Amino acid sequence: MSVIRKIQANLDRMSPADREIGRFIAENPDKMLGLSSAALAAETGRSQSSVVKFAQRLGFASYQDLKLAVSTHRAQDWRLPAGPIHGSIAQEDGFATVLEKLVSSKYRAMRETVAANGAREVGRAVEALDAARRIYLAGVGASSLVASDLSYKLLKLGRVAIQNGDSHVQMANVAAGGPQDLLVAISYSGTSMETLKIAECAKGRGARVIAITGMQDNPLARLSDILLHTVADEDHVRSSSITARDAQLALTDLLFLMIVQRQPDAHDFIHETEVAVAALKSAGR
Amino acid sequence: MSVIRKIQANLDRMSPADREIGRFIAENPDKMLGLSSAALAAETGRSQSSVVKFAQRLGFASYQDLKLAVSTHRAQDWRLPAGPIHGSIAQEDGFATVLEKLVSSKYRAMRETVAANGAREVGRAVEALDAARRIYLAGVGASSLVASDLSYKLLKLGRVAIQNGDSHVQMANVAAGGPQDLLVAISYSGTSMETLKIAECAKGRGARVIAITGMQDNPLARLSDILLHTVADEDHVRSSSITARDAQLALTDLLFLMIVQRQPDAHDFIHETEVAVAALKSAGR
DNA sequence: GTCAGGGCGGAATAATTTATTCATCAGACC
DNA sequence: GGTCTGATGAATAAATTATTCCGCCCTGAC
Break chain A into its structural domains and give their ranges: 3-76, 105-280
User: What pLDDT does B119 receive?
Assistant: 87
In tens digits, chain B (285 residues) has pLDDT values of: 678 888 887 777 777 878 888 888 888 888 888 888 888 888 888 888 888 888 888 888 888 888 888 888 877 776 776 666 554 444 556 788 788 888 888 988 998 898 889 888 999 999 999 999 999 999 999 999 999 999 999 999 999 999 999 999 999 999 998 899 999 999 999 999 999 999 999 999 999 999 999 998 999 999 999 999 999 987 777 777 899 999 999 999 999 988 988 887 877 877 888 787 777 766 555
- Say which range, A57-61, A89-93, B25-29, B147-151, has the weakest mean pLDDT: A89-93
Domain range B117-283, CATH architecture: 3-Layer(aba) Sandwich (3.40)
Instruction: Answer whether any strand C atom is within 7 A of the Cβ of B216.
Output: no
DSSP state of B233: -
Under an 8 A CB cutoff, do A78 and B107 touch? yes
The reply to whether the CB atom of residue B63 sits less than 7 A from any atom in nucleic acid chain C is: yes
Q: Are B99 and A114 within 8 A, CB to CB?
A: yes
- Residues of chain A neighbouring B89 (CB-CB closer than 8 A): none
Class of domain B3-76: mainly alpha
Determine phi and psi for B240, rounding to 5 degrees: 55, 30
Question: Which of B2, B95, B108, B255 is the best substitution to test chain A (most A C-beta atoms within 10 A)?
Answer: B95
Any atom of strand C under 7 A from CB of B103? no
Lowest mean pLDDT among A115-119, A127-131, B54-58, B185-189: B54-58
pLDDT band at A198 (very low <50, low <70, confident <90, very high): very high
Which uninterrupted H or E stretch holds A65? helix A63-76
* Banded model confidence at residue A28, pLDDT cuts 50, 70, 90: confident
List chain A residues with CB under 8 Å of B99.
114, 254
Using the CB atom, is residue A64 less than 7 Å from strand D?
yes
Share above pLDDT 70 across residues of chain A, in percent, rounded to a whole number: 90
Is it true that domain A105-280 has CATH number 3.30.360.10?
A: no
Most confident listed range (A98-107, A124-133, A228-237)? A124-133
Element containing residue A162 per DSSP (H, E):
strand A161-162
Q: What is the pLDDT of residue B262?
A: 83
| Chain B nearest-CA residue for A273 | B237
- Is any atom of nucleic acid chain C found less than 7 Å from the CB of residue B53? yes
pLDDT for B154 = 93
- Min Cα–Cα distance to chain B from A264, Å: 7
Q: C1' nearest to CA of B48: which nucleotide?
A: D9
For residue A251, which of A219, A200, A202, A215 has the smallest C-alpha distance? Answer: A215
Which pairs with CB-CB distance under 8 Å and at least 24 residues apart come from B35-44?
A: B37/B63, B44/B20
Nucleotide nearest to B67 (CA to C1'): C18
Q: Do A253 and B270 touch (CB under 8 A)?
A: no
Greater pLDDT, A12 or A228: A228
Dihedral, CA atoms, B46, B50, B55, B58, nearest 10 degrees? -100
Type of residue found at B111 = R
Of B82, B165, B242, the CB nearest to A266: B82
CB contact (8 A) between residue A270 and residue B74: no
d(CA A47, CA A281): 63
DSSP state of B178: -
Instruction: Read off the pLDDT of residues A139-190 as tens digits, 9 standing for 90 and up.
Output: 999 999 999 999 999 999 999 999 999 999 999 999 998 899 999 999 999 9
Alpha carbons B203 and B217: distance in angstroms, whole number: 19
Residue A50 approaches strand C within 7 Å at CB: yes
**DSSP string spanning B77-129?**
------SPPTT--SHHHHHHHHHHHHHHHHHHHHHHHHHHS-HHHHHHHHHHH
Confidence bin at A87 (pLDDT 50/70/90): very low
